[in-house]
């Protein structure tokens, strides 16, 4: 199984489509918000389950979940856009909420910055922004490496 994590596409669905096409096969696409409507353009071209959370710029997605917990390779992963947890100021609240939900991993967006850091007991990761990157563009690939979850940042 292989999962791909993106965030903050902000209308750049053509770029997203080209990036995903170049990646080859994957089973799950996780979109961390601010580009929910972009998924309707690429959905016909991908053969994967889609998990999406609403971001602060996903105005027409009031019914979209703001956070979701997924399980991959036996691990629970907390997924959110991050604006509700003040991730621009720090990731401590995000880490506490993830841990309270039994998650050792938290995926978030919002800051447009590629990040990978341990906050307490939680590994907090942000793939940055495909639409408006601040420190380079990336995505996160999640795979099973010797029966253990493995995260790989792929620079674009």
Report pTM.
0.95
| Average pLDDT of the chain to the nearest whole number | 94
Domain at 2-155: CATH code: 3.60.21.10
Alpha-carbon distance of 37 to 54, in angstroms, equals: 10
Residue-level length of the chain: 156
The angle subtended at Cα 136 by Cα 4 and Cα 31, nearest 5°, is 30
Q: Which two tokens stand for residue 88?
A: 């621009």
Average pLDDT of the residues in 87-100:
98
Q: What is the reported pLDDT for 67?
A: 96
Q: Read off the pLDDT of residues 51-90 as tens digits, 9 standing for 90 and up.
A: 999 999 998 767 889 999 999 999 999 999 999 999 999 9
Phi and psi angles of residue 39, each rounded to the nearest 5 degrees, phi first: -65, -30
Phi and psi angles of residue 93, each rounded to the nearest 5 degrees, phi first: -65, -45
CB contact set of 40 (below 8 Å; sequence gap of 6+): none
């Amino acid at each position: 199984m292989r999962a791909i994590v993106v965030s903050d596409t902000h209308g750049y669905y053509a770029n997203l489509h080209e990036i995903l096409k170049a990646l080859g096969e994957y089973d799950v696409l996780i979109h961390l918000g601010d580009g929910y409507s972009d998924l309707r353009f690429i959905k016909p071209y991908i053969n994967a389950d889609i998990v999406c959370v609403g971001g602060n710029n996903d105005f027409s997605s009031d019914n979209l979940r703001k956070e979701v917990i997924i399980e991959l390779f036996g691990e629970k992963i907390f997924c959110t856009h991050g604006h509700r947890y003040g991730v621009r100021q720090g990731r401590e609240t995000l880490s506490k909420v993830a841990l309270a939900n039994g998650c050792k991993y938290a995926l978030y967006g919002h800051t447009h910055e590629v990040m990978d850091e341990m906050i307490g007991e939680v590994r907090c990761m942000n793939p940055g922004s495909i639409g408006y990157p601040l420190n380079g563009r990336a995505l996160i690939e999640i795979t099973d490496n010797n029966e253990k979850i493995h995260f790989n940042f792929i620079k674009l």
